[in-house]
Amino acid sequence: MSADFYDFDEKRRRAAEQWPGFDPAEALHWSKVLLRHSPDPQRAGIKAQMSEAINRGIPVAGPDWVRTADSARADGFNPVLFQALHESLHTISKESFRSHPGHRQVTFKTYLPGTPYESELWSDWPKIFLTDGFDARTATTLTLLRAEPKFPRPHTNS
């Protein structure tokens, strides 16, 4: 048996185990995107090991990655759209919107932060971007703006 056949078989097996319901190529693509935009905090060393596996073509999954990909996929996202959303989100200061997920980012002392995927916030984004024809940043801004009433202003003592 050639090494290439073994590598392909191993990649397929790992994808099936870690990414049920995803074909190996899609699992690998989601792995690449979620490595950069993880829904949960991760240690840098773990992310480096995950990155090495992904670079070898092996799909990997952090604790909430498959659930995140499943939810995002149900909302109309694919890995490319998910990446576009996050790239546009990084251009918008979290201070600009109470609804910005940066306010709900999960951090631990020695971990890289994670930002949970919120289906109730982002489910319309693919339609705004793809069907309504807005660019990614505008679609993100409109989505955050529409969600503002769901995030009350903090109370002040004045």
Cα–Cα distance measured from residue 26 to residue 15, given in angstroms and rounded to the nearest whole number: 9
- The top-scoring range by mean pLDDT among 39-48, 106-115, 119-128 is 119-128
Q: What is the mean pLDDT of residues 57-66?
A: 91
| Secondary structure of residue 19 in the 3-state scheme | coil
The answer to whether residues 27 and 18 touch, using CB atoms and an 8 Å cutoff, is: yes
pLDDT band (50, 70, 90) for residue 133: very high
Residues 6+ apart with CB under 8 A from 125: 75, 76, 77, 81, 85, 139, 140, 143
Residue 154: the pLDDT is: 65
Backbone phi, psi, residue 67, to 5°: -60, -40
Q: What is the mean pLDDT of residues 81-96?
A: 96
- Whether the pLDDT of residue 75 is over 50: the answer is yes
Cα–Cα distance measured from residue 154 to residue 158, given in angstroms and rounded to the nearest whole number: 12
| Secondary structure of residue 76 in the 3-state scheme | coil
Cα–Cα distance measured from residue 7 to residue 72, given in angstroms and rounded to the nearest whole number: 29
**Residue boundaries of the structural domains of the chain:** 3-150
